[in-house]
A = this chain, B = another copy of it.
């Protein structure tokens, strides 16, 4: 258990580092945040970060992985509830928004994927495409079960994911308004999907 406790301690700190980094990237942009900034937020020295990540590039990479995790978890949980297509979309959005603006901490959605090293860039793009793909599958399922209107799933998917991913750019409210966002935003995004009965 000793070994184990040490390991989780490390993992925990590492997670705090990633959270702090994501926060900084969201707030000050990528080129605008130095490792010193991230470290300062944790009461550490910039050099200390190298105990947890290999370099800045890996730091960004891990932030992206974290972001991908959040999205994947939300989607999986939504799917597991066994609702129809439209309701699944709605539930997924609710969960994902909750994780984005809630206590799980901010997630960096930024434009620095191209500057990742090839191996990492490919991995992140793969995960991103996979996520989009799964979302489209939910839309297709919804069309099949009659809950979602007939639409181009590719474009519709991109439209909804765009709205979702854009949230961190404009939302900087407190927990109360975050809750309102989580409640009302999914409905707004789903309104355009509703299949008209008898159409």
Contacts and interface: CB of A to CB of B under 8 A. Distances in A.
A158 B151 contact: no
A100 to B, nearest CB: 13
Given A165-B166, A166-B162, A188 B29 contact: no
A150 to B, nearest CB: 12
Interface string A65-76: 000000000000
Given A158-B167, A162-B170, A165-B169, 19 more contacts: A27-B114, A29-B113, A29-B114, A30-B31, A30-B112, A31-B112, A110-B110, A111-B111, A152-B188, A155-B184, A155-B185, A158-B171, A159-B185, A159-B189, A160-B163, A162-B167, A166-B166, A191-B192, A191-B193
A25 to B, nearest CB: 8
A184 B154 CA distance: 12
A178 to B, nearest CB: 13
A164 interface: yes
Contacts of A113: 29
18 contacts: A25-B111, A28-B114, A29-B113, A30-B30, A32-B112, A110-B110, A110-B111, A151-B188, A152-B184, A155-B181, A159-B163, A159-B188, A162-B165, A162-B166, A162-B167, A189-B192, A190-B192, A192-B192
Contacts of A28: 114-115
A87 interface: no
Contact of A29 (B32, B112, B151): B112
A127 interface: no
Contact of A164 (B26, B149, B162, B193): B162
A161 interface: yes
A28 B31 CA distance: 13
Given A151-B188, A188-B156, A32 B162 contact: no
Interface string A34-66: 000000000000000000000000000000000
